[in-house]
Copies of this chain bind each other. A is one copy, B any other.
Amino acid sequence: MSARVTMRDVARVVGMSPMTVSRALREDNTVNAKTRARVRQVAEELGYVYDSTSQAFRTQKSGFVAVTLPSVNNANFAETFRAVSNGLGQMGLQLLLGSTNYRVEKEEELVRQLLARNPEALVLTGGHHTDATRALVQGRGLPAIEMWDLPAEPLGHVVGFSNTEAMADIVAHLVQTGRRKLAFVGASEGADSRGAARRAGVVQAAQAHGLPEVAMIDAGPAPVSMRHGHAAIEAIGRDVARNDALICVSDPVAFGCLSAVQRLGVRVPNDLAITGFGAFEVAKVSNPRITTVNVQAEEIGREVVSLLQGIFEGSINTPTCVDVKSTLVPGETS
């Protein structure tokens, strides 16, 4: 196996200095067109592959933007990821991804690893972090964006929406359509802070409307998905019809509930309303269509990108908060 091909090798063949090769391979127009063509051709012939590591080292700019997500196995986060990834690609940046599995300690470890790669910005999901994480991020003076939430004390910039408000919209909608005995289906207390915010939003809104106490249906530890919603309802059985509305932490959970409820012979929406969260595909395709909240996962990604763009260009200097409003999407389950 031959050693790797470097600019020096290319330079030797072309009969020029490595500096010229460097210039020729970049968009540097101080190099003669003929020279450039020759350099590129030789580079191609020798199978030269640019070494970003060296560049990152020399220029002290990694070309990375670090992103943490609770999980990629979630169509919403995946959508945001895709938008950010595409946007950054166009800016010549690469995305460095880490998933926290919905745990802040894991996030801390991850942030440490990611920072070691010297990213040019850090994008975190959610507004809930360990003190060490906060210290790490702020100690570097690194542009930071929190997304998918509107934290009370942001680390830096924010692109998100209010989980609490979104839930208030749902509760208002249910009250308006005559529901009073609400139940919330979500993950056990603990890890998932966005889930917790949604739960709190429901409880709060129910109180505001003077409704009886909201029943809590535990779908197990986060992350919860279709099968957990399904199983939670199966565990309860027909008693689920004591409530007249199930407010689910997400569309997959709602679909799981819907399916289980239908198997039990409970009619939706006649006997029971069901709402989801996130405007996942399944909400629109299921039968009946699930009432949900569109959080514009892609829009969040796009806003993150345009924020980053502004930050790198220098046009954004002060902490900015972008509220990507969520909107209620009425379906057939309520």
* Chain A residues in the interface with B (C-beta under 8 A): 1, 4, 47, 49-54, 56-57, 62, 71-75, 78-79, 81-82, 85, 94-97, 99, 112-113, 115-118, 135-136, 139-141, 225-227, 230, 252, 255-256, 259, 262-263, 281-282, 284-287
A281 to chain B, nearest CB (A): 4
Is B256's CB under 8 angstroms from A285's CB? yes
Q: How far is B91's CA from A150's CA once the two chains are assembled, in angstroms?
A: 35
Q: How far is B79's CA from A138's CA once the two chains are assembled, in angstroms?
A: 33
List 10 A-B pairs, Cβ < 8 Å: A53-B62, A53-B117, A57-B57, A74-B78, A75-B75, A82-B99, A85-B99, A226-B284, A227-B281, A263-B287
Chain B residues with Cβ under 8 A from A4's Cβ?
A: 140
Q: How far is B252's CA from A45's CA once the two chains are assembled, in angstroms?
A: 45
Q: How far is B78's CA from A74's CA once the two chains are assembled, in angstroms?
A: 8
* Residue among B112, B139, B140, B281 making CB contact with A225, cutoff 8 Å: B281
Is B285's CB under 8 angstroms from A255's CB? yes
Is B227's CB under 8 angstroms from A49's CB? no
Chain B residues with Cβ under 8 A from A118's Cβ?
A: 51-53
A26 to chain B, nearest CB (A): 13
Q: How far is B174's CA from A48's CA once the two chains are assembled, in angstroms?
A: 52
Chain B residues with Cβ under 8 A from A71's Cβ?
A: 78, 82
Measured CB to CB, the nearest residue on chain B to A62 is B53
Q: How far is B142's CA from A47's CA once the two chains are assembled, in angstroms?
A: 14
A47, A94, A136 — most chain B CB neighbours (10 Å) = A94
Q: How far is B223's CA from A282's CA once the two chains are assembled, in angstroms?
A: 16
Measured CB to CB, the nearest residue on chain B to A230 is B285
Q: How far is B227's CA from A285's CA once the two chains are assembled, in angstroms?
A: 6
Q: How far is B89's CA from A112's CA once the two chains are assembled, in angstroms?
A: 13
